[in-house]
Structure 1
Amino acid sequence: MSPSRTRVLDLLTRSAEPLGMAELTAATGLHANTLRGHLEALVETGLVDRRRATPIGRGRPAWLYTAADESHTSEYAALASTLASGLATSAPDPAAAGARAGEGWGRELARQRLSRMNGPLDPRSEALAALEEFGFAPRDTPVDVVELTRCPLLDTARKHPEVVCAVHLGLVRGMVSEHGGDPSGTTLEPFATDDSCRLHLPRTLSS
Structure 2
Amino acid sequence: MTTGRPAGYSAISSYSRVELLHLIQLQRERTIADLVTSTGLHANTVREHLQRLIDDGYVVAESEHRTTRGRPRVLYSAADGAGASSAVQQRKVKAAAERGDLLRRVMPGQQSIELDTAALHQVDAVVEDLMDAGFDPLIDEEALTIDLTPCAHAEAQAAHREVLCSVHLSLMQSVLTEAGGPLSVDGMRSSCDPTECVVQLLHAGHRQ
- TM-score with structure 1 setting the length: 0.46
Structure with more of its chain in helix, by fraction: 1
- TM-score with structure 2 setting the length: 0.46
